[in-house]
Amino acid sequence: MTRLLLALACALGLVPTATAQARPLPQLLPTDTLAAWLARGTPVRVLDVRLDVWSYLKGHLPEAQYLNVETLRASRGGVPVQLLEAPAYRAIFQRLGLEPSVPVVVYSAGETLNIDATWVTWLLAAMGHPRVYLLDGGYYKWSFEHRAMARRYPRVASAGSWWSRRAFEPDTASLAEVRRVVERGGAVLVDARPPEQFAGEAGTQMRLGHIPGALNHWWQDDLETSGFGRVFKPVEALRASYAAQGITPDRDIILYCNTSTEASHLWFALRVLLGYPRVRIYAGSWTEWAEREELPVATGPSRASP
């Protein structure tokens, strides 16, 4: 009976499957470690995922290839900025020459746009790449530390057939699952957007506010200023901050934001840095929920979880 219940829970996404548990997780990489790798000539693939390609052309980290995150999602069923299917990701990552034996370091602008980098690391983890790193502080921190920059493009050959065998297994929750949580409970909904958007005082969606019952944990609250950049807070500070809201490792946690990018920052903090076992992202996020007029919307500030 116990095994049957466990299998049923896995099928419903209430606990991680064995495949998800075995999948390698990304890691956080300090700027000085990447600088040492580059100085030694350590093989590495670096991805610059800043939204503005002109910023890349003006200067980027050595060995960095440009990847616009908007090539990694598209409308589905009319809902914008949704995930693609596995073949699309296989083709893109193979084209970028990402091999399992070579570490991949992802960075964005840092500061307010670190979410693009956490989103790409989340996707790479979902495709099973075993050596993915997020550059802590991103381009902003690297540049203000006066580290080496480049303007030439790296010469990178396409990867082999490894990607053709990879399944795409993102830690996601569906609209139906989130709706069940709103109606019946059973999981903690966490909104990663700024407090004014959560409260319904700002935003660009058709309706303003948040999913009923959700807690608000703004992704930027997980960062602190260190030297010339914004980096993740120490693990114990992160743990205390989440626990104060009732976001604890014994609970099933579903994250959302506007388009899943901000939620990926919380996923990285909870799943990677804190080791929480059951953390998923509602990929449709507020973009999908707010447009569905039959779905309920709440306003007002966040309260701690019971």
Torsional sign, CA 283, 287, 288, 290: positive
Q: Rounded to 5 degrees, what are φ and ψ at 191? A: -100, 120
Q: Which of 257, 273, 281, 297 is catalytic?
A: 257
* Paired strand residues for 226: 229
Burial of residue 287, with CB atoms counted within 10 A of its CB: 0-12 exposed, 13-18 middle, 19 or more buried: buried
CB 171 within 8 A of CB 281: yes
**Active site includes 10?**
no
List the one residue out of 195, 188, 251 whose CA is nearest residue 221.
195
Catalytic residues: 257
